[in-house]
């Protein structure tokens, strides 16, 4: 799984014996690890190296113990990782518990790998999560996998989400008891997807509609996700359809249909301006129209 992405290990220095063990187990399985013991050299800036380590890592494992939850360093690292997740920069936060503690509020809604009584069971939980991400990533090789940007949502239930309109795909936290239309509204709100968008410089006004597909089947809006017997880790597709109004052509038609009054010379000048804009815009071939529609989702 060496193409999965680097794993950053956040921990208290007092827990080094445990961390040494899990780092060894991960590296033996060819999982690249960022570990301060190996990645910070004598004389290097510790904050700079840690910040770079978090930036360059796909996964952020935080080792939760009595020592770490009271550590200023660990809390700052966690905040940095969560901000990276919220900003869709691509960091997955994986908490692991090694002794009896109260889970920090920022992580209380997340699944944890429990190492308290059975180390091998905890390790299996981590490896299963990583291997599933790796498997799904290989099934959609043209897109990069990102965590869901809603860091406050529970990850007890999740699906992998991709679309025909944007290059990323997401490990999306959701609730299988939601209706399909509520799930769509949640996706649209979380990713700030447009229902309507005007592209002034091209004279186009777009309207979009959304649907969800699971296992090749379109889901009915008023049905619950649970009605389709979803399993954690299945892939869903967000289908986005778009239609547009050609504002330039519409304005040209309305100029002479009597609905708007123009002074004749002003009308002729405005007509020339609109035709010039249409020429500058160029031919609207099918591929060009699709490219323009997709540009409405370039922020994702």
Q: Do the domain assignments include residue 120? A: yes
Same domain, 149 and 294: yes
Instruction: Examine the domain organization and report whether 122 and 213 are in the same domain.
Output: no
Residue 1 counted as domain residue: no
pLDDT class of 163 with cuts at 50, 70, 90: very high
Confidence of residue 73 (pLDDT cuts 50, 70, 90): confident
**Residue ending a domain, choose from 139, 156, 180:** 139
CATH assignment at residue 224 = 3.10.20.90
Model confidence at 251, pLDDT cuts 50, 70, 90, reads: confident
pLDDT above 80 (res 70) = yes
pLDDT band at 262 (very low <50, low <70, confident <90, very high): low
Average pLDDT over the chain reads: 90
The answer for residues whose C-beta is within 8 angstroms of residue 241's C-beta and 6 or more apart is 208, 209, 210, 211
Nearest to 110 by CA among 147, 151, 142, 143: 151
Both 243 and 290 in one domain: the answer is yes
Average pLDDT over residues 31-46: 85
Task: Give me the mean pLDDT over the 45-51 stretch.
Answer: 83
Residue 40: which domain range? Answer: 7-139
> Last residue of a domain, which of 82, 115, 139?
139
- pTM for this predicted structure: 0.86
In the chain, how many domains are there? 2
Can you tell me the mean pLDDT for 194-215? Answer: 96
pLDDT for 270? 80
């Amino acid at each position: 799984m060496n193409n999965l992405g680097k794993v950053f290990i956040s921990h208290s220095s007092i827990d080094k014996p445990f961390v040494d063990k899990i780092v060894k187990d991960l590296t033996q399985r060819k999982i690249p690890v960022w570990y301060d013991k190996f990645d910070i050299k004598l004389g290097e800036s510790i904050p700079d190296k840690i910040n770079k380590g978090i930036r360059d890592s796909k996964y952020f494992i935080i080792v939760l113990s009595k020592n770490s939850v009271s550590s200023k360093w660990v809390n700052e690292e966690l905040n940095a990782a969560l901000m990276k997740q919220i900003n869709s920069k691509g960091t997955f936060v994986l908490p692991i518990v090694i002794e009896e503690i109260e889970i920090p509020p920022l992580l209380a809604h997340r699944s944890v790998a429990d190492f308290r009584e059975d180390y091998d069971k905890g390790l299996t939980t981590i490896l299963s999560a990583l291997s599933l991400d790796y498997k799904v990533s290989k099934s959609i090789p043209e897109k990069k996998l990102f965590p869901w940007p809603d860091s406050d949502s529970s990850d007890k239930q999740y699906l992998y989400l991709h679309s025909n309109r944007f290059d990323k795909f997401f490990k999306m936290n959701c609730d299988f008891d939601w209706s399909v239309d509520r799930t769509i509204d949640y996706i649209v709100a979380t990713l700030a997807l447009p229902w309507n968008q005007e592209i002034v410089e091209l004279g186009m006004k777009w309207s979009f509609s959304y649907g969800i597909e699971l296992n090749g089947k379109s889901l009915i809006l008023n049905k619950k996700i649970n009605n389709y017997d979803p399993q954690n880790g299945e892939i869903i597709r967000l289908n986005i359809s778009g239609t547009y109004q050609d504002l330039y052509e519409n304005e040209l038609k309305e100029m002479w249909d009597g609905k708007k009054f123009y002074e004749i010379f002003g009308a002729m000048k405005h007509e020339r301006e609109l035709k010039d804009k249409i020429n500058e815009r160029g031919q609207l071939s099918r591929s060009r129209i699709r490219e323009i529609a997709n540009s409405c989702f370039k922020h994702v």
